[in-house]
Amino acid sequence: MYSKEELSAIIEDYIGRLPFPEEPDTLYEPIIYSLAGGGKRLRPLLALMACNIFSDDVKQALPCAAAIEVFHNFTLLHDDIMDNAAVRRGKPAVHRKWGANSAILSGDAMLIYSYSLLEQAAAELLPRMLRIFNDTSMKVCEGQQYDMDFESREKVSMEEYLTMISLKTAVLLAGATAIGALAGGASEADCKNLETFATQLGMAFQIQDDILDSYGTENTLGKKIGGDISEGKKTFLTTAAMEIADEDTRIRLAGLMHNKEMIADDKFARVLAIYERLGIREHAEKAVDEYTRQAIGALDALSVPAERTEPIRRLAMELLRREH
Amino acid sequence: MYSKEELSAIIEDYIGRLPFPEEPDTLYEPIIYSLAGGGKRLRPLLALMACNIFSDDVKQALPCAAAIEVFHNFTLLHDDIMDNAAVRRGKPAVHRKWGANSAILSGDAMLIYSYSLLEQAAAELLPRMLRIFNDTSMKVCEGQQYDMDFESREKVSMEEYLTMISLKTAVLLAGATAIGALAGGASEADCKNLETFATQLGMAFQIQDDILDSYGTENTLGKKIGGDISEGKKTFLTTAAMEIADEDTRIRLAGLMHNKEMIADDKFARVLAIYERLGIREHAEKAVDEYTRQAIGALDALSVPAERTEPIRRLAMELLRREH
């Protein structure tokens, strides 16, 4: 079996060698720039690890793993236009560097490019691969739409919030893992179990993200903490607080979240005080633990010797113990 | 064999019944609105006619034909954002009705939806279908990119212009026709011939479009003539004129095309006078004839009895004799 580091190197090498036409460079340069931006490459890593559980030949999962990563970077590119984000991974966002029109069109081409990588799947697996890829991609769009819709809404229920992060984040981890398992020759039942694993992992991962934004340190996070609160973003923490709080606290919290004049540190301290009183951090950590427990349970249900799942299990634990 | 009217009815019915989830309606409503906008449905019509040359069961080509039509409408949706176009087929463009962010995301979902229609292709044809669909879609993006790049350029050669319209228009007609033929069980050679037919037809069609914008009548065109000239758009006519004209005329023509203050009718008359002197209309009509001749030649090369190609031949002649 391959170590995480070996698989990461294989992915980085493969993505670095993806062929693109030279012309029109105005179309392909932003794509190459996006893909060279780095990032954790978590999705293709999950795909290769899932493949590696069932097969020692992980190369067969590489094109599909890369397809998922290209798709993921396409969503970031278009999301950055929609959010008017200036920076992505420490570099100017594509729409800031090349303009919105160029970013729209290069994003479209990236989405098409991800499908062209699927052409390399074994013919007998292609129908199922394509179906997983389509279902996954469409759900990611739905998640982004809910995220945009929720921005302008006063209140979002916990159920709605969980649906949104499931679609926006967990589904793509699940799709990557299922496609990798399929390429490795997993049975239908094992694919299903790995999909469950990655879905639950994705939920835990996203809630952990929300926790770190308030309770991480600037040092380990690599950016200023409290960004979500200062932008008035809806997170697991705000959603839980709005559900638990009495009416007075709810009105005060909503007022704080909408306030654009207050000094960020002051706003952050006041929101954290409310969280503290309501036990929101503990509530969120319990949710992370519960999703993690379910993720691990799905791994235990696989029809393979436990040692085959060691690397992917270790990756999951690393992700959830991370401080950034 | 089916008549054009029968095939059009089959397509309209199929597209009208395409299933979409109810939620999030903010994502799917713009898609349904786009697809209900009508249009000539030329691409799926070509696909079904190509299928019908080889098989009496045209239903098998329907999902792929619809995939091409959904893809085409996705490109219109995103192009309208990039061009900041207010109106599409007599109705407000999606980005004007729902906002640019919504139009970007719904367009993305439409592109994914077009791929999900390919899932219904016969498994043994899927690898080739997917390859044709990917190659075609990517080329359409390249064409749109060249079109945008050319806007800011002083001079575009005839070769560059022809490459651009080939990618932006002809390639999608060719892809639709090839996919339809494939679904109908055509041989590799016949697919190739039909692809050539549709490519040449697409070139003739686009140049005809350019001619009609200057030489059609408002009555038959359904919009004011001279729109391309008043917007300073590069067309076959302007490109030919810039190639043929002497230096003085070239400078005058470029000056006219850039002029945003002159009264539109005045500008139109002056440009037409230059065209007249250079014989541009005849030049363009000769190009249409030449592409048409090549298109028909490719039909003649098919390995089927001539009567099987009657409907698609008639469609081609109708398109090229059209006044709008």
Q: Which of B115, B119, B145 sits opposite A115 (nearest CB)?
A: B115
A91-92 and A87-88 as β-strands: parallel, antiparallel, unpaired? antiparallel
The reply to whether residue B108 touches residue A149, judged by beta carbons under 8 angstroms, is no
Q: What is the DSSP string of B104-155?
A: HHHHHHHHHHHHHHHTTS-TTTHHHHHHHHHHHHHHHHHHHHHHHHHHT-S-
The verdict on A104 touching B (C-beta cutoff 8 Å) is yes
The verdict on A105 touching B (C-beta cutoff 8 Å) is yes
- Look at A212-226, A232-246, B295-309 and tell me which has the smallest mean pLDDT: A212-226
Q: State the DSSP code for A168.
A: I
Peptide bond into A21 cis (omega under 30): no
First to last CA, chain B: 28
Report residue B39 as tokens: 């249009």
Q: Are A132 and A175 in contact (CB under 8 A)?
A: yes
Closest Cα partner for A74 from A100, A99, A96, A103?
A: A103
List phi, psi (to 5°) of A88: -135, 120
The reply to whether residue A109 touches residue B138, judged by beta carbons under 8 angstroms, is yes
B320 or A101, greater pLDDT: A101
Once rounded to an integer, what is the mean pLDDT over residues A211-240? Answer: 88
B87-88 and B91-92 as β-strands: parallel, antiparallel, unpaired? antiparallel
| C-alpha span between B238 and B275 (Å, rounded) | 8
Closest residue of chain B to A149, computed from CA coordinates: B26
- Look at A117-126, A276-285, B148-157 and tell me which has the smallest mean pLDDT: B148-157
pLDDT at A173 over 90: yes
| C-alpha span between A196 and A193 (Å, rounded) | 5
| C-alpha span between B281 and B216 (Å, rounded) | 12
Question: Model confidence at A208, in pLDDT bands (50, 70, 90)?
Answer: very high
Q: Are B58 and B311 in contact (CB under 8 A)?
A: no
List phi, psi (to 5°) of B91: -120, 160
| C-alpha span between B86 and B83 (Å, rounded) | 9
**CA B151 to each of CA A162, B139, B144, B232: distance values in angstroms, whole numbers, following the listed order:** 45, 19, 11, 9
Q: Are A324 and A222 in contact (CB under 8 A)?
A: yes
- In b/e form, how buried is each residue of A115-131, taking b as 16+ CB within 10 angstroms? bbbbbebeeebbbbbbe
Residue in B27, B78, B114, B124 to test binding to A, most A beta-carbons within 10 Å: B27
Closest Cα partner for A164 from A233, A249, A227?
A: A233
Q: What is the pLDDT of residue A37?
A: 81
Closest Cα partner for A119 from A109, A110, A111, A129?
A: A129
Q: What angle do helix axes A126-151 and B100-118 make, rounded to 10 degrees?
A: 160
Q: State the DSSP code for A170.
A: I
Q: Are B158 and B186 in contact (CB under 8 A)?
A: no
Q: What is the DSSP string of B154-211?
A: S---HHHHHHHHIIIIIHHHHHHHHHHHHHTT--HHHHHHHHHHHHHHHHHHHHHHHH
First to last CA, chain A: 28
Q: Are A108 and B131 in contact (CB under 8 A)?
A: no
Q: Tell me which chain B residues have a C-beta less than 8 angstroms from the C-beta of A138.
A: 109, 112-113, 116
Closest Cα partner for B230 from B279, B281, B270, B203?
A: B270
Q: What is the pTM of this model?
A: 0.96
Q: What is the mean pLDDT of each run of 10 residues along chain B (324 residues)?
A: 96 97 97 92 98 97 98 98 94 97 98 98 97 98 96 92 97 98 97 98 96 87 83 94 96 92 92 97 97 96 96 93 65
Dihedral sign, Cα of residue A129, residue A130, residue A134, residue A137: positive
Question: Model confidence at A277, in pLDDT bands (50, 70, 90)?
Answer: very high
| C-alpha span between A37 and B137 (Å, rounded) | 25
Sole residue written with tokens 């209900």: B36
Q: What is the pLDDT of residue A324?
A: 53
Report residue B190 as tokens: 């016949």
Q: Which of B119, B138, B148 sits opposite A112 (nearest CB)?
A: B138
- In b/e form, how buried is each residue of A133-165, taking b as 16+ CB within 10 angstroms? bbbbbbbbbbbbbbbbbbeeeeebeeeebbbbb
| C-alpha span between A134 and B184 (Å, rounded) | 25
Closest Cα partner for B145 from A116, A190, A243, A28?
A: A28
Minimum distance, in Å, between the CA of residue A141 and any CA atom of chain B = 6
**Which amino acid, A191?**
C
Q: Degrees (nearest 5) of the Cα angle A290, A217, A264?
A: 105
**ipTM exceeds 0.85:** yes
**Which amino acid, B269?**
A
Q: What is the pLDDT of residue B320?
A: 86
Q: What is the pLDDT of residue B322?
A: 67
All domains of chain B, ordered by start, with CATH? Answer: 1-138 (1.10.600.10), 187-324 (1.10.600.10)
Minimum distance, in Å, between the CA of residue B24 and any CA atom of chain A = 7
Q: Are B27 and B105 in contact (CB under 8 A)?
A: yes
Closest Cα partner for A229 from A237, A240, A221?
A: A237
- In b/e form, how buried is each residue of A253-290, taking b as 16+ CB within 10 angstroms? bbebbeeeeeeeeebbebbbebbeebebbebbeebbee
Q: What is the pLDDT of residues A132-150, one digit of tens each?
A: 999 999 999 999 999 999 9
* Interface size, chain A vs chain B, as Cβ–Cβ contacts under 8 Å: 117
**CA B214 to each of CA B144, B267, B275: distance values in angstroms, whole numbers, following the listed order:** 23, 12, 10
Which residues 2-41 in chain A show a CB within 8 A of chain B?
A: 21, 23-24, 26-27
How does the average pLDDT of chain A come out, rounded? Answer: 95
Q: Which of A23, A127, A141 sits opposite B108 (nearest CB)?
A: A141
| C-alpha span between B185 and B194 (Å, rounded) | 13
The verdict on B109 touching A (C-beta cutoff 8 Å) is yes
Report residue A56 as tokens: 């020692």
Q: Are A171 and A199 in contact (CB under 8 A)?
A: yes
Q: E-strand spans in chain A? A: 87-88, 91-92
Q: What is the pLDDT of residue B244?
A: 95
Dihedral sign, Cα of residue B177, residue B183, residue B188, residue B190: negative
**CA A228 to each of CA A88, A148, A205, A213: distance values in angstroms, whole numbers, following the listed order:** 16, 15, 16, 7
